[in-house]
């Protein structure tokens, strides 16, 4: 079964989390931890690839390469942010083709106007819903893997209000989107109203579990009981990495040693095991031919 087909199977047995992975190592850790799917965030990619905030600076091809590196090291379905599709009709078609080529199984396309921003930032703007419907139809027409899952995302809650956000998602479902996602609801009451009005459409509904954004922080079980089918844990691994590395470096610069944080660091041997050094050495050895020693003149005679 393909990774895309496996993602669709996951949706038959909710709930589950797509665990954030911002690079190859965190993707491997997510799989080792038992995650059922991985999420590649544009917010995280902007920081990791470019050292920039999520304000629409990362290009389509930069994100493609970032996704491809992550897909190479995991067998899990990968859900990859596609922002606004990086332009118009032809751009969104190229985006889904590239995301498929990279190895992703899912993407979300959002209805923000350019320049886009992180869904939990102030100052967002949205395009007309008819323009978003056209982009969705074009993207779906360019899909070559029938199991590839396209999620329609709206950022309208903070711009035009909850009612418009719900109406937009209904229109995006009509355009053929496989799943629905309103980013940054600001209360449990908003979440309940979304589910009440969108559930009859029969499309899986996604919730973003970002811990420090605008939305209430809820457990996966709580989210499921509200009526959401699955969730993202998008940027917490990157935040955990940032704090741990920041503290280690500050301690080293202050003390001239890592002695006081040694118990919080993976050993050289354990890390090499994790990235597969033993397997790489064995693979290389299996193809090496030991040359026979040169024959002496007496042997030749």
Q: What is the 3-state secondary structure (H, E, C) of 241-285?
A: HHHHHHHHHHHHHHHCCCHHHHHHCCCHHHHHHHCCHHHHHHHHH
**Domain 3-235, CATH:** 3.20.20.60
Positions of CATH 3.20.20.60 in the chain: 3-235
Catalytic residue among 23, 110, 111, 178: 110
278 as an active site residue: the answer is no
Q: Which residues have a Cβ under 8 Å from the Cβ of 68 and sit 6 or more positions away?
A: 101, 102, 103
Check if 270 is active-site: no
Is 288 among the catalytic positions? no
Print pLDDT tens along the chain (301 aa).
999 999 999 999 999 999 999 999 999 999 999 999 999 999 999 999 999 999 989 999 999 999 999 999 999 999 999 999 999 999 999 999 999 999 999 999 999 998 887 767 777 899 999 999 999 999 999 999 999 999 999 999 999 999 999 999 999 999 999 999 999 999 999 999 999 999 999 999 999 998 877 899 999 999 999 999 999 999 999 999 999 999 999 999 999 999 999 999 999 999 999 999 999 999 999 998 766 666 666 655 5
Annotated catalytic residue within 23, 54, 147, 229: 54
Residue tagged active-site, from 81, 147, 183, 229 = 81
Number of H helices, E strands in the chain: 13, 8
Known catalytic membership, residue 81: yes
- The answer to whether 153 is a known catalytic residue is yes
Q: On the CB side of 184, how many CA atoms lie within 13 Å of its CA?
A: 19
């Amino acid at each position: 079964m393909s990774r895309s087909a496996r993602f669709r199977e996951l949706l038959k047995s909710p709930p589950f989390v797509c665990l954030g992975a911002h690079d190859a190592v965190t993707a491997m850790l997510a799989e080792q931890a038992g995650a059922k799917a991985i999420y590649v965030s544009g917010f995280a990619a902007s920081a990791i690839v470019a050292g920039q905030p999520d304000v629409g600076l990362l290009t389509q091809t930069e994100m493609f390469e970032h996704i491809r590196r992550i897909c190479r090291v995991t067998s899990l379905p990968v859900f990859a942010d596609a922002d606004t599709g990086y332009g118009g009709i032809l751009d969104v078609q190229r985006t889904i083709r590239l995301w498929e080529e990279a190895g992703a199984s899912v993407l979300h396309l959002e209805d923000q106007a350019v320049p886009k921003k992180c869904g939990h930032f102030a100052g967002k703007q949205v395009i007309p819903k008819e323009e978003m419907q056209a982009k969705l139809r074009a993207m779906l027409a360019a899909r070559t893997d029938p199991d590839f899952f396209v999620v329609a995302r709206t950022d309208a809650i903070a711009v035009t209000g909850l009612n418009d956000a719900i109406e937009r998602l209904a229109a995006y479902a009509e355009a053929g989107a496989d799943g629905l996602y309103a980013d940054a609801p600001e209360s449990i009451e908003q979440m309940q109203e979304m589910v009440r009005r969108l559930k009859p459409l029969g499309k899986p509904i996604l919730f973003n579990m970002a811990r420090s954004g605008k939305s209430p922080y809820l457990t996966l079980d709580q989210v499921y009981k509200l009526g959401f089918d699955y969730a993202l844990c998008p940027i917490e691994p990157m935040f955990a990495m940032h704090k741990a590395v920041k503290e280690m470096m500050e301690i080293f610069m202050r003390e001239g040693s890592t002695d006081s944080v040694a118990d919080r660091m993976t050993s050289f041997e354990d890390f090499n095991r994790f990235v597969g050094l033993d397997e790489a050495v064995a693979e290389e050895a299996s193809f090496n031919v030991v040359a026979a020693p040169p024959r002496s003149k007496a042997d030749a005679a």
